[in-house]
Amino acid sequence: MENITKIFASKVFNDSTMKKRLPKETYRALQKTIKDGKHLDLNIAHVVANAMKDWAIENGATHFTHWFQPMTGITAEKHDSFISPTGDGKIIMEFSGKELVKGESDASSFPSGGLRATFEARGYTAWDPTSYAFIKGNTLCIPTAFCSYGGEALDKKTPLLRSMEAINKQAMRVLKLFGNEDITSVKTTVGAEQEYFLIERDMHDKRPDLMFCGRTLFGAMPPKGQEMDDHYFGTIKSKVAGFMKELNLELWKLGVLSKTEHNEAAPAQHELAPIFSTTNIATDHNQITMELMQRIAKKHDMVCLLHEKPFAGVNGSGKHNNWSITTNTGKNLLDPGKTPHENAQFLLFLCSVIKAVDDYQDMLRLSVASAGNDHRLGANEAPPSIISMFLGEELTEILESIERDEDYDAKEKTIMKVGVHVLPRFAKDTTDRNRTSPFAFTGNKFEFRALGSAASISGPNIVLNTTVAESLKQFADELENADDFDNALHELIKRTIKEHKKILFSGNGYDDAWVKEAESRGLLNLPATPDCLPCYVWDKNVKLFEAHKVFTATEMRARYEILLDNYSKTINIEALTMLDMAKKDILPACASFMGHLSDVVIAKKSACKDIQCTYEENVISKLSALNNQMFEDVLLLEKELEAKKEIDDAQKLAEYYKDVILSRMAKVRKSADEIEVMTERTYWPYPSYADLLFGVR
């Protein structure tokens, strides 16, 4: 076993490596830049680049890349080698400060939502020194932001960094009011729990739907699913254990704090949870984790499926985004304190989140929207698409008593007065976690549980940071002008609870009754992606993001367009894949099997004229009806795909895909799945759900 403490972060140019390798003044100057978020002086950058290059070469790197996160949702990189000719037929290894700090990117084919006309194809990438450079394979990866020459964000990192600045600014105003002189900055922290499936690679490669769409478009349920709950936290199969071991090792080398791993609810489903870190680093690390999962699975002859719903009827995959706010002095602002003073501050920060989630339910819903996640949300396996919050019984009672000036503790007759009383120690609630809530308080952090497994966590955290920044801004505006701080604080908390308690819900979020109740409370219910994407351009949302300098109106419109386009394209690929599979494999397979049965009937009857052919004739008749029905739906699907050409509005097109194409696809699938259960195994062209879900040994 390798020495883990030694290999941890061995492939990261992190603080301790910088300290060791950089001249003192350079190190200090760089630290200052990182802390203040200022531009790096080119002379300093040059020294850093040189040290970085030497370190990278010693660790086997020959190339460098600006590693960035375009709107495609996956990371992008273009590799350049360090070599530079010296004019005498030889080379030296070179890496300049300019190359470190800024990269030119001919990135015309990355989605920009019209922000960058293709003739003006160049955007640029800029080093984010708050996220460390690392080595992957033979390449030094430099985490960068990706912008157009006009300065518009074309990626998922730039707005995330801006949103962290926004919440820092407003939280600092509030913290000053509580007299925290020692605190100079706050950062949000995130721990993203990642779910995924592992299946055998050779079976995966036999299924065009998995190859092209990452999810199955056909497949009847196997006799055994997840009903026995025997996979959840069960023993890990040796092949999977081998994968996890290598994954952990590689993640640790890259400084990713991979901590726990276990089997999940569905067969073949697993989860990895890291120890939390600063939000932008957690976001980079989650991208790295997803990338390594896919690469390492292949080495072990498996495929890692990150899609939110690879198998119909089986639990899909999500991501739990554990989120909190921490000061530079290491205090978690969502941790209830021990003194009345600390408690008051905690309650105010708690209220800032409650208000943010209520005021911007639409943006939170939007931040987790994708064609893949639409299959999970509200399908009794993941939170509903209605955003609500769960605080736990005890904290809910405390808030209610504050709101009504009533006894919190009936026996002791305590009326909770903010800033006067110590909150009772409400134990970290581990038993009564409401797993059906999309947004739950878990003792000292919030867990946003509606995220899809495949998407970057950047979007939801941009929304969380910015909307909480807005609550804090309003609170600071009010409290800074108050004559009597304690009184104003108490009144503000009371009022916030009163105005926003409609977002608090402790019941069963999977229950149909909740949909009705949520409606009567006036909560938003936006079931599918095309329903919520327009929120990007709602006036109140544009105002919010502009006010906190996170997005410009143009950037928001661009993102809206990119997501619409992405949604329609995803379903278009699925529909085309479905047609291909149906026409070339499934319909002919069914016909062949019917042909075979007919031959049996003829053979039987020629052997014995009056023989009964009940099985054969019954199956032929049922299969024939199903195959005809399926063929009819296939033709209609083709026609409906053709008809989309008439729709030139992107929003209408996305709605068309949702309402018309997806419903037709469901019909095609229904017939095919019924055919599958009646067809002799050897005639069926694909590995079945049983093969896929129970195939890994």
Could you tell me the two tokens for 231?
A: 């996979």
Looking at beta carbons only, is 440 or 454 nearer to Mg ion?
440
113 interface partner picked from Mg ion, ligand ADP, none, CB below 5 to 8 A per type: none
Distances (CA, A) of 389 to 263, 402, 446, 447: 27, 18, 9, 10
Q: Kindly state the tokens that stand for 9.
A: 């972060």
When the beta carbons of 324 and 568 are compared against ligand ADP, the nearer one is 324
Q: How far is 183 from 667, CA to CA, in rounded Å?
A: 59
Residue type, 371: A
For helices 485-500 and 458-480, give the axis angle rounded to 10 degrees.
140
Selected from 273, 391, 550, 668, the binder of ligand ADP by CB under 6 A is 273
Q: How far is the CB of 260 from ligand ADP (least distance, A)?
A: 7
Size of the site for ligand ADP (CB under 6 A): 14
Q: Which does 445 bind (CB under 5 to 8 A by kind): Mg ion, ligand ADP, none?
A: ligand ADP
* Interacting partner of 420 out of Mg ion, ligand ADP, none (Cβ under 5 to 8 A depending on kind): none
In the complex, least distance from residue 193 CB atom to Mg ion, rounded to whole angstroms: 5
Question: Which is closer to Mg ion, CB of 132 or CB of 448?
Answer: 448
Segment 305 to 334, residues that bind ligand ADP, using CB under 6 A: 322-324, 332
Tokens 């977002």 correspond to 503
Burial of residue 194, with CB atoms counted within 10 A of its CB: 0-12 exposed, 13-18 middle, 19 or more buried: buried
C-beta of 260 vs 624, nearer to ligand ADP: 260
From the list Mg ion, ligand ADP, none, pick the one residue 267 interacts with, judged by a Cβ distance below 5 to 8 Å according to partner type.
Answer: none
* Residue (of 215, 284, 325, 283) closest to 669 by Cα position: 215
Q: Of 263 and 541, which CB lies nearer to ligand ADP in the complex structure?
A: 263
Contacts of 193 (CB under 8 A, 6+ apart): 271, 272, 273, 319, 320, 322
The secondary structure of 89-155 as a DSSP string is: S-EEE---HHHHHEEEEE-TTS--TTSS-GGG-EEEEEE-TTS-EEEETTEEEEEEEEEETT--B-B
Q: How far is the CB of 51 from ligand ADP (least distance, A)?
A: 31
Nearest CB to ligand ADP, comparing residues 7 and 275: 275
Spatial separation of the C-alpha atoms in residues 222 and 691, rounded to whole Å: 9
Picked from ligand ADP, Mg ion, none, the partner binding residue 401 (CB below 5 to 8 A depending on kind) is none
State the Cα–Cα distance between residues 119 and 672, nearest whole angstrom: 46
C-beta of 309 vs 320, nearer to Mg ion? 320
Which is nearer to ligand ADP, 190 or 369 (by Cβ)? Answer: 190
Minimum separation from the CB atom of position 273 to ligand ADP (A): 4
Residues 183-202, interacting with Mg ion (CB under 5 A) = 193
Query: Which single residue is written with the structure tokens 């995966």?
Result: 204
Residue closest to ligand ADP (Cβ): 191
Closest distance of CB 233 from ligand ADP, Å: 12
- DSSP output for 5-57: HHHTTTTEE-HHHHHHHS-HHHHHHHHHHHHHTPPPPHHHHHHHHHHHHHHHH
- For Mg ion, give the closer residue by CB, 270 or 320: 320
CB neighbours (10 Å) of residue 483?
A: 6
Distance separating alpha carbons of residues 469 and 447, to the nearest angstrom: 18
Please report how close the Cβ of residue 332 comes to Mg ion at its closest, in angstroms: 17
Q: Which residue, 323 or 360, has its beta carbon nearer to ligand ADP?
A: 323
Residue corresponding to tokens 């699938």 = 669
Q: How far apart are CA 471 and CA 491, in angstroms?
A: 15
Report whether 100 contacts 49 (CB < 8 A).
yes
Is residue 274 close enough to count as binding ligand ADP by CB under 6 A? Answer: yes
Minimum distance, C-beta of residue 444 to ligand ADP, in the bound complex (Å): 6
Look-up of token digits 């495949």: 454
Q: Nearest distance from residue 251's CB to ligand ADP, in Å? A: 13
Taking the C-alpha atoms of residue 134 and residue 473, their distance in angstroms, rounded to an integer, is 36
Q: Give Cα separations from 52 to 57, 59, 99, 135 (angstroms).
A: 9, 11, 12, 11
Tell me the per-residue interface mask from 164 to 203 with ligand ADP, x by CB under 6 A, - otherwise: -------------------------xxx-x----------
392 binds, among ligand ADP, Mg ion, none (CB under 5 to 8 A by kind): none
Q: Which segment (67-75, 124-132, 145-153, 269-277) binds ligand ADP by CB under 6 A?
A: 269-277
* Cα Rg of the chain, angstroms: 28
Classified as helix, coil or strand, 352 is helix
Stretch that binds ligand ADP, among 18-26, 41-49, 271-279, 399-407 (CB under 6 A): 271-279
Residues facing residue 319 across a β-bridge: 194, 451
* Alpha carbon 496 to chain centroid, angstroms: 30
- Residue 195 CB, shortest distance to ligand ADP, in Å, is 13
Q: Does an H or E element contain 473, and which?
A: helix 458-480
Nearer to ligand ADP, 141 or 171 (CB): 171
Question: The tokens 């006009």 sit on which residue?
Answer: 150
The residue (of 207 and 376) whose beta carbon lies closer to Mg ion is 376
Binding of residue 129 to ligand ADP (CB under 6 A): no
Residue of the chain from 46, 63, 307, 320 that contacts Mg ion (CB under 5 A): 320
Q: Which residues lie across from 504 on neighbouring strands?
A: 389
DSSP sequence for 534-599: GGGG-HHHHHHHHHTTS--HHHHHHHHHHHHHHHHHHHHHHHHHHHHHIIIIIHHHHHHHHHHHHH
Strands 122-127 and 102-106: antiparallel
Tokens coding 674: 């019924």
319 binds Mg ion (CB under 5 A): no
In 10 A of CB 541, how many CB atoms?
Answer: 22
What is the distance, to the nearest Å, from the Cα of residue 178 to the centroid of all Cα atoms in its chain?
A: 35
Give me the residues paired with residue 312 across strands: none
190 is in the binding site of which of ligand ADP, Mg ion, none (Cβ under 5 to 8 A by kind)?
A: ligand ADP
Q: Nearer Cβ to ligand ADP, position 130 or 414?
A: 130
C-beta closer to ligand ADP: residue 445 or 490: 445
**Of 640-669, which residues contact ligand ADP (CB under 6 A)?**
none
Binding residues among 432-451 for ligand ADP as defined by CB under 6 A: 444-445
Task: State the binding partner of 143 from ligand ADP, Mg ion, none, CB within 5 to 8 A by kind.
Answer: none
Among the listed residues 276, 360, 441, 560, the single contact to ligand ADP using CB under 6 A: 276
Kindly tell me which of 193 and 655 has the beta carbon lying closer to Mg ion.
193
Contact of residue 419 among Mg ion, ligand ADP, none (CB under 5-8 Å per partner type):
none
Q: How far is the CB of 204 from Mg ion (least distance, A)?
A: 28
Residue 276, binding choice from Mg ion, ligand ADP, none, Cβ under 5 to 8 Å by partner class = ligand ADP
Minimal distance in Å, beta carbon 188 to ligand ADP?
A: 8
Q: Which stretch binds ligand ADP (CB under 6 A): 64-72, 270-278, 396-404, 449-457?
A: 270-278
Cβ-closest position to Mg ion: 320
Among 4, 7, 275, 611, binds ligand ADP (CB under 6 A): 275
CB closer to Mg ion out of 132 and 196? 196
Binding site for Mg ion (CB under 5 A): 193, 320
Binding site for ligand ADP (CB under 6 A): 189-191, 193, 273-276, 322-324, 332, 444-445
